[in-house]
Structure 1
Amino acid sequence: MTQWCGAAAGGLAVLALVAAARFHAVTVTLRGRLADQDRELDRLRADLAEALDRRSAENAAVQQEQDLNSATRRAFLSVARRILVMAHDQQAGLDEMERTHDDPALLDGLLKADHAAAQQARLAQTLAVLCGARAGRHWPEPVALEDVVRGAQSRILPFQRVVVRSRIETAVVGAAAEALIHAVAELLDNATRYSPPSTQVFVTLMSVHNGAVVEIDDCGVGMPEQAVEKAAAALAGGGSLEVSRLGEVPQLGLAAVGRLAEQYGFRVTLSSAPSPYGGVRVVVLLPNALLTEPLPTALPPAPAGTLVLPAPPARVPSQPRAVAAPGGPERSAPAA
């Protein structure tokens, strides 16, 4: 019996030693794993700190770039407004000279100078729109849609190439008239610039179920698919002026049209299919919210130089002089 008890005690001792060894091994393993986890946590903390530092630096760089772009836009807007004022002053002086001279050769030169000032005003207005400004004036009364298009026609150099065909008698609300005049002028400038100078650009006005449309068809060679996609993206709006992305020959016109369409609620689409004349068709859709009945005697848009006035002049010419001027300039417009 004593021997059996001694053997049992020895076995228990052995088991205790085995258990202790196993416990020690498990403890060592757990300690090793905990050490590994601590090292992993330290690495993760270091990576997180590095990532936060990187993000902070990136945010600072983005903020710096945004501040720079904002300052640049303000500077460009200031310059654009100064050019608009100078163009208006120049046109006012030319108007006075035109009223006091009747020599045909002199008048022809004055009209060309007047029209050149209108191009300066249009380009400055495009720059102002891309810098975040809205259209330069607010018409107090509705403007007939045909007069809107005629006013736009007067703001491009080859105005005599534009043929307007109207099938409707409706007007644009005064709040959106200037924006639409400028947008159509940019589209007409684009159409005349990218089609042969011997061809015409056809503008058709018609009613549709949801409002009215202005169709602009040129007789050019069309546009490749990639160019259509790029132009459609510009017309979609949403962009802002970033000097670093303008390029050496900046194309601002379509981007300004997209911004105006976004601001005032009309839509401009570029058809990927050739127009009936073989060139490009652009459609401006005006919703009913921007349309109204024309006045008994609708006020047509004034020449482009007046767009910087805080209020419309007391008397508006019956027709933009540049449209009616015979023998006006007919050459490619400057890049806009």
Structure 2
Amino acid sequence: MTHQILVTGGAGYIGSHVVRQLGEAGYDVVVYDNCSTGVAIAVLSGKLVVGDLADIESLYRTFAKNKFAAVLHFAASTVVAESVAQPLDYYANNTRNTLNLLRCCQTFGVKKLVFSSTAAVYGSPEESPVSESFPTIPINPYGRSKLMSEWMIQDYGLASELQYIILRYFNVAGADPAMRIGQFTPNATHLIKVACEAALGKRPSLSIFGTDFPTADGTGIRDYIHVEDLATAHIDALRYLQTGGKSRVLNCGYGHGYSVRQVIAKVKEFSGVDFPVIEAPRRLGDPACVVAASDEIRKLLGWKPQYDRLDEIVETALEWEKKLNHTKSSFKE
């Protein structure tokens, strides 16, 4: 029981890859997910409890029935444009529900937490790469809701024995190279998935939102990290905490970026399809360039990425979309 781990949002895209790696590493996993964006078939290890973090009674029952050594918290809403349109929903799901989870950790004495945060907490940084010491000035409700969660975790850590790792993700893409799981979510907004869908005819075209950014080709630059490497970072973070590691906030990216046009060109190259691309105005809340300084996570956790190539990210993402094309099952959004 000492290795029993609770994973909130473990049926989702990133969470499911972490759950699979936890199972492979010998951990006893309980996944808590409302399956609003995740899917049950993506949970390849442990036990799935279908529940919402807003449902305090269900959450307490889950803690009471088990003895968790640590919590990995992924459950959140993550679409920037949606957060601008529906800010209260984001503060409810991301911030209030993190508070609910922390209350349970307090009640049941859970002292290890790995939190899924985001580079959106930095807003539009004036320099790149972005280090953990940069000011946190988020420019949209998604980033603010996550930063508020970080503050709660940090404040509770100061007032208790909780030790935590907060991982600030950059742009996650790709799929399990063995094609067991990937990103199921329909109506996705992530560039690489959308581009792969366009290449396979699932979408009539792809839109570039903003061609007048102050970058070399006018399109936004992002640090794309393979989901397998991101999952490994969580296992590394958990082991670090379990061996007495102190609380830290760490960026999780590769330290270099690619523009929207570069990504599109790579998807066209791998798919062999010259799909239509539409140039559209910028979206509200999109920064020009966000690339991670990743020295700290490599040094502290010993994290060693295995898929740090745009080719590999795009190739696995494209193969996953092909698999979904050949699977006639419909997946719940």
Q: Do Structure 1 and Structure 2 share a fold, with TM-score over 0.5?
A: no
When the two structures are superposed, what TM-score results if normalisation uses the length of structure 2?
Answer: 0.23
- Higher Rg of the two aligned structures: 1
When the two structures are superposed, what TM-score results if normalisation uses the length of structure 1?
Answer: 0.23
Q: Larger helix proportion, structure 1 or 2?
A: 1
